[in-house]
């Protein structure tokens, strides 16, 4: 059976959280626990899945807000790229400064993901691509079996991630997209951190940020 992909749009910034499940083994992986840990857990358990791993594409608060609660509920390890550890640990202070909100600390990572690593749970196999630019340790996760890349805040439908945040860099982000994401193939579905899905092919042809960059 194919790996199933469920999308939950959660939290104050309407962030996409993905629950990947392998119906055969019951294994599940969560990408970007944006908010509402109980809902994420229930979504998996209603399908008979057990969350075995919690991943983040990067450490901005809207992608990790439920990480500590979900880790406590499930006992699943939490992982992200080491270069985003300072952002992760400074998250409550940054949110207080930027938005005037009080948020709990994120989960401490149990280990770090790295470029080229294959993360496996049941039939779910995710390849890690290092795609910085929006955040220093931003990664994307490639699910080859379903021709899908979970791009976080790297690539969106008709847009790209913000680069006016601390640790962000516009040129680095565009290099990440062109060097790491575009080579996946035009048929690849892009499952982003916000808004609707798109495809590599559509963005190659229609994304104005990529068009300008590729025309240089």
Quickly count: other Cβ atoms within 10 Å of residue 72's Cβ: 11
User: Which of 132, 94, 131, 139 minimizes the C-alpha distance to 112?
Assistant: 139
Backbone angles phi, psi at 183, to 5 degrees: -65, -10
pLDDT in tens, 133-189: 999 999 999 999 999 999 999 999 999 999 998 899 999 999 999 999 999 999 999
CATH class of the domain defined by 4-153+189-196: alpha beta
Yes or no: say if 35 and 15 are a contact pair by the CB < 8 Å rule: yes
For the chain, give every domain's residue range: 4-153+189-196
pLDDT in tens, 42-69: 999 999 999 999 999 999 999 999 999 9
């Amino acid at each position: 059976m194919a790996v199933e992909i469920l999308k939950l749009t959660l939290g104050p910034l309407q962030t996409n959280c993905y629950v990947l499940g392998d119906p055969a083994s019951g294994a599940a992986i969560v990408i970007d626990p944006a908010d509402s840990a109980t809902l994420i857990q229930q979504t998996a358990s209603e399908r008979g899945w057990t969350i075995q791993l919690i991943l983040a594409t990067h450490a901005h608060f809207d992608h990790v807000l439920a990480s500590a609660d979900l880790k406590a509920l499930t006992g699943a390890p939490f992982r992200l790229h080491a270069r985003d550890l300072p952002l992760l640990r400074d998250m409550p202070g940054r949110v207080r400064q930027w938005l005037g909100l009080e948020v709990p600390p994120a989960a401490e990572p149990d280990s770090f993901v790295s470029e080229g690593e294959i993360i496996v749970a049941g039939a779910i196999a995710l390849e890690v691509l290092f795609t910085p630019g929006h955040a220093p340790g931003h990664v994307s996760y490639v699910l080859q079996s379903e021709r899908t890349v979970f791009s976080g805040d790297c690539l969106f439908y008709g847009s790209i991630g913000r680069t006016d945040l601390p640790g962000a860099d516009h040129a680095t982000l565009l290099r990440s997209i062109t060097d790491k994401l575009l080579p996946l193939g035009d048929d690849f579905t892009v499952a982003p951190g916000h808004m609707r899905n798109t495809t590599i092919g559509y963005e190659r042809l229609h994304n104005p940020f990529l068009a300008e960059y590729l025309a240089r």
